[in-house]
Amino acid sequence: MIIESEFTPARWLKNRHAQTIYPALPWTWRSYPALRRQELELPDGDITAVDWLVAGDNLAGTAPLLVILHGLEGSAESSYARMLMEAALKLGWRSCVLHFRDCGDYRNRLPRRYHAGETNDLRYFLEHLHKYPESAENAGPVVAVGYSLGGNVLLKYLGESEDDTPLRAATAVCVPLNLHECAGALEQGFSKVYQRYLLKRMKQSMKRKFDRHTAAFDWDRAMRSRTFAEFDDWVTAPLHGFDGMQDYYDRCSSVKFLKGIERPTLIVNALDDPFMTPEVIPSEDQLSAQVTLEVATAGGHVGFINGGTPWNPTFYLPERILGFLQPYAAMPGL
């Protein structure tokens, strides 16, 4: 089902780039809740990190658990993750951020990082939780939210898993449903600024992990990459077993997995998102009966600021996300 969003941008922040950039400014969300880090050993011998909201430790183990997947080069420190964890706590929910490998200021062991189609780590984490339902720590219903790249991972996982998942419901926000389209969008106009900024961070991460002698890819070409398509062709693909960028995008674009989703799922995307084009929006026949696609005319990329003042803005997404998930988190066990 495709529906029109009720989101209306704040009258003082209607530009799509302003909506995208503003939430990252330090004064827009000043709260930094205490987090507890857990190391997650992965089946292939690698490791990543899960950050848990400390305030949630005081809740009963049967309380709902919200699992958050961050975006490209994001972490539990990202403003969207912090504000959602605090909003979930007000509902009496526990929450955590599952970091992708080599993210969240936590280095992994193996010569690889993460990509938009890596669902095995999420699957392992959720099965690890589900394996111990009698545990006081993780005995409640589990729901999930993915932002941007994390949303792509979440939707792909749901489509692959069909009915075989412990998740009750899920929400994905500003998802690059078609990786080909999104890579092209970031080569246009002002969107090149985001591409340049993120590529710089990704190259810095590469330099922390590899050098020209240890890299399992062409180091010089990787450092010369000027677009996501080049970086994914020269770094992401060879690091993670894909036959180039085209193969990676073809196999990992979540639009191809939407038909297989069998858990209630809300996707919220904006037509003015500078990380993609309107062509990313799928047709209704590409969605399963369990998927609701909410399309907003505005909102930018993970912005969706709907009011307040420049020094104290209000945000549409936390209430919308939790409002959708709440009925499923309250349902008796499946």
Query: Is residue 46 among the annotated active site residues?
Result: no
Question: What three-state secondary structure class fits 49?
Answer: strand
Read off the amino acid at residue 29: W
Query: Is residue 51 among the annotated active site residues?
Result: no
Joined tokens for residue 166: 């412990």
Report CA 20 to chain centroid distance, whole Å.
Answer: 15
> Which H or E element spans position 142?
strand 142-147
**200 Cβ contact list (under 8 Å, min separation 6):** none
Residue length of the chain: 334
Check 78, 148, 191, 253 and give the catalytic one.
Answer: 148
Between the CA of residue 63 and those of 47, 92, 121, 164, 263, what are the distances in Å? 27, 7, 23, 22, 20
The C-alpha atoms of residue 156 and residue 257 are separated, in whole angstroms, by 6
Read off the amino acid at residue 108: N
Q: What angle do CA 199, 301, 277 make, to 5 degrees?
A: 85
Read off the amino acid at residue 281: I
The C-alpha atoms of residue 20 and residue 17 are separated, in whole angstroms, by 5
Query: Is residue 105 among the annotated active site residues?
Result: no
Check 51, 102, 232, 273 and give the catalytic one.
Answer: 273
DSSP annotation of 258 reads G
Check 70, 99, 115, 301 and give the catalytic one.
Answer: 301
Residues labelled catalytic: 148, 273, 301
